[in-house]
Structure 1
Amino acid sequence: MELFLKYPHEVQEELMCNLLKSAENTVIGKKYDFSSIKNYETFSERVPVSTYEDLEPLIEETRKGAQNVLWNTPIKWFAKSSGTTNAKSKFIPVSSEALENCHYKASKDLLCLYLNNNENSQLFTGKSLRLGGSKQLYEDNNTFFGDLSAILIDNMPIWAEFSSTPSNKVSLMGDWETKLPAIINETIQENVTSLAGVPSWMMVLLNKTLETTGKQNLLDIWPNAEVYFHGGVSFEPYREQYKKLFPKDNFSYYEIYNASEGFFAIQDLNNSNELLLMLDYGIFYEFIPMETFGTTNQKAIPLHQVELNKNYAVVITTNSGLWRYLIGDTVRFTSIDPFRIVVTGRTKHHINVFGEELMVENTDKALAKTCNELGCEVIDYTVAPIFMKDKEKGAHEWIIEFKTLPSNIEGFAALLDKNLQTVNSDYEAKRYNNMTLNPLKVNVARTNLFYDWLKENDKLGGQHKIPRLSNERKHLEELLKMQLMHI
Structure 2
Amino acid sequence: MSVLNEILSFFIKRRIERINEFMLNPHETQQEQFQSLIKKARKTEYGKRYGFSDIKNIVDFQRQVPIVAYENLYPEIERVLRGENNILWPTPIKLFSKSSGTTNAKSKYIPVSDESLESCHYKGGKDMITLYLAEHPDSGLFDGKGLSIGGSLQENPYNSRTQVGDISALIMQNLPSWAEYLRTPPLEVALMDNWEEKMSRMIDICSREKLTSILGVPTWTVVLLERILEQTGKKNLLEVWPDFELFVHGAVNFKPYRDRFQTKFFPSEQVNYLEIYNASEGYFGVQDDLGRIGEMLLMLDYGVFYEFVPMEELDKDHPKALTLDQVELDKNYALLISTNAGLWRYKIGDTVKFTSKYPYRIKISGRTKHFINAFGEELIIENAEAGITEACEATGVIIKDFTAGPCYMADDSKGGHEWIIECPQKPENSFDFAERLDASLRRLNSDYDAKRAGNLALQMPKIHFVEEGTFYNWMQKRGKLGGQNKVPRLSNNREFIDDLLEFTGLR
Report the TM range for the smaller structure's normalisation: over 0.9
How far the C-alpha of 1:424 sits from its partner, in A, is 1.5
What are the within-5 Å matches in structure 2 for residues 43-122 of structure 1?
43-122=61-140
Q: TM-score if structure 2 supplies the norm length? A: 0.94
The residue type paired with residue 44 of structure 1 is: Q
The residue type paired with residue 315 of structure 1 is: L
2:278 equivalent to 1:258: yes
Alpha-carbon displacement from aligned partner over 1:236-279 (angstroms, at most 9, x marks no partner): 00000000210102311000011000000000002222100000
What are the within-5 Å matches in structure 2 for residues 56-455 of structure 1?
56-133=74-151, 135-139=152-156, 140-244=159-263, 245-272=265-292, 273-296=294-317, 298-390=319-411, 393-455=414-476
Q: 1:291 to 1:178 in 2, by over 3 A?
A: same
How far the C-alpha of 1:297 sits from its partner, in A, is 6.0
Match of 1:457 in 2: 478
Gap runs ≥5 in structure 1: none
Count of matched residue pairs: 485
For residues 57 and 452 of structure 1, the distance between their equivalents in structure 2, rounded to whole angstroms, comes to: 35
Which range moved further: 445-454 or 11-20?
445-454
User: Could you tell me whether the CA contact under 8 Å between 2:103 and 2:349 is conserved in 1?
Assistant: no
Note the aligned Cα RMSD (angstroms).
Answer: 1.3
For residues 85 and 40 of structure 1, the distance between their equivalents in structure 2, rounded to whole angstroms, comes to: 29
SS of the counterpart of 2:312? coil
Which range moved further: 441-450 or 96-105?
441-450
How far the C-alpha of 1:137 sits from its partner, in A, is 3.8
SS of the counterpart of 1:326? strand
2:39 equivalent to 1:18: no
User: Could you tell me whether the CA contact under 8 Å between 1:378 and 1:402 is conserved in 2?
Assistant: yes
User: Could you tell me whether the CA contact under 8 Å between 1:210 and 1:218 is conserved in 2?
Assistant: yes
The residue type paired with residue 473 of structure 1 is: R
For residues 412 and 300 of structure 2, the distance between their equivalents in structure 1, rounded to whole angstroms, comes to: 52
Alpha-carbon displacement from aligned partner over 1:395-432 (angstroms, at most 9, x marks no partner): 11111111222111111111111111122122112111
Which range moved further: 476-485 or 32-41?
476-485
Q: TM-score if structure 1 supplies the norm length? A: 0.97
The residue type paired with residue 467 of structure 1 is: P
Which range moved further: 104-113 or 288-297?
288-297
User: Could you tell me whether the CA contact under 8 Å between 1:64 and 1:141 is conserved in 2?
Assistant: no
The residue type paired with residue 219 of structure 2 is: S
How far the C-alpha of 1:392 sits from its partner, in A, is 5.2
The residue type paired with residue 62 of structure 1 is: V
How far the C-alpha of 1:190 sits from its partner, in A, is 0.9
Identity between Structure 1 and Structure 2 (%): 49
SS of the counterpart of 1:287? strand
User: Could you tell me whether the CA contact under 8 Å between 2:123 and 2:302 is conserved in 1?
Assistant: yes
Gap runs ≥5 in structure 2: 1-18
For residues 447 and 354 of structure 1, the distance between their equivalents in structure 2, rounded to whole angstroms, comes to: 31
SS of the counterpart of 1:427? helix
Pick from 24, 29, 32 the counterpart of residue 6 of structure 1.
24
